[in-house]
Amino acid sequence: MRLLHYIRALLGIIGRELLRFVYQRERFISALVRPLVWLFIFAAGFRSTLGVAIIPPYETYILYEVYITPGLLGMILLFNGMQSSLSMVYDREMGSMKTLLVCPLPRWYLLVGKLLAGVLVAILQAYAFLLIAWFYDVQAPPEGYLSVLPALILAGLMLGALGLLLSSFIKQLENFAGVMNFVIFPMFFLSTALYPPWKIQESSELLHTLASYNPFSQAVELIRFALYGQFNLYACIYTSAALIVFLIVAIIGYNPSRGMMQRKGGPTA
């Protein structure tokens, strides 16, 4: 296979995902409404609980709305990763996934292409959220809107790979919807997206330990530091390691000779 074939396949996968995103406007609206509700309503109601605090990387007193903004960006990436994987389960039921996976290109390349396409859509949603938050006076330093891009890409890849992993083990569409809720809500609430680590530790040492090992927490911390022009090395390494593990297991899961696809009667290449 020539390099041109790989490029055309990648562009085709990304273009298909973007077209699906354009025509499914409800998906874009719902992806924004969910974090905006948390920003406008939840943050206002709980401001008296956390108030203001000195929390890295801010190094100054901040409002609660400012603190949870990176967590809400993580929420957008998490939900989009699950939505992209949900579409893969749907495509598998409809038969279009078979057309993709039987092409002569390597299966891992096709899956990574799907992952990249989903991340691109998630980043568009994340910046749309940041724009709305900016008009709500929840603003980061100007350079932070550029420095956060690599963190959004890495975090989006990791969370998208998690969704890809789940989709490789689930056959029916209705089952995946239930698993999404089982994964999304524990990951989100058992993280540092809504409360700083010291606040969680005050409540429970066990919850603090679980939150610190939660990959979503590290993805949020990576975004939080990057949004303010700082680099969190530990969060970057942890998120990268989780991405590698999730992606490798997902690729194995989609391999008909080694994974779950063969046992489920999935497409063969």
Interatomic CA distance for residues 12 and 158, integer angstroms: 22
Interatomic CA distance for residues 68 and 37, integer angstroms: 12
Residue with tokens 């298909």: 16
Which pLDDT score is estimated for 10? Answer: 80
229: left (phi over 0), alpha (psi -120 to 50) or beta: left
Strands of the chain, DSSP E: 53-54, 61-62
Interatomic CA distance for residues 81 and 84, integer angstroms: 5
Q: Is the dihedral of CA 20, 164, 81, 144 positive or negative?
A: negative
b/e string for 199-238 if b means 16 or more Cβ within 10 A?
bbeeeeeeebeebbebbbbbbbbbbbbbbbeeebeebbeb
Interatomic CA distance for residues 47 and 32, integer angstroms: 21
Which pLDDT score is estimated for 67? Answer: 84
Which uninterrupted H or E stretch holds 42?
none
One DSSP character per residue, 185-225 reads: HHHHHTSSSSS-HHHHHHH-HHHHHHHHH-HHHHHHHHHHH
b/e string for 85-109 if b means 16 or more Cβ within 10 A?
bbbbbebbeeeebeebbeeebebeb
8 Å CB contact between 65 and 138 = yes
8 Å CB contact between 186 and 211 = no
Which pLDDT score is estimated for 44? Answer: 66
Which pLDDT score is estimated for 232? Answer: 94
Tens digits of pLDDT across the chain (269 residues): 677 777 877 887 788 777 777 777 676 777 778 888 888 877 666 655 455 455 677 766 677 788 889 999 999 999 888 888 777 777 666 666 666 666 777 888 888 888 898 899 899 999 999 999 998 888 889 999 999 999 999 999 999 999 888 888 776 666 666 777 788 888 998 999 988 888 888 888 999 999 999 999 999 999 999 999 999 999 999 999 999 999 999 888 876 555 444 444 444 43
Residue with tokens 């309503």: 41
Phi, psi of 141 (to 5 degrees): -55, 145
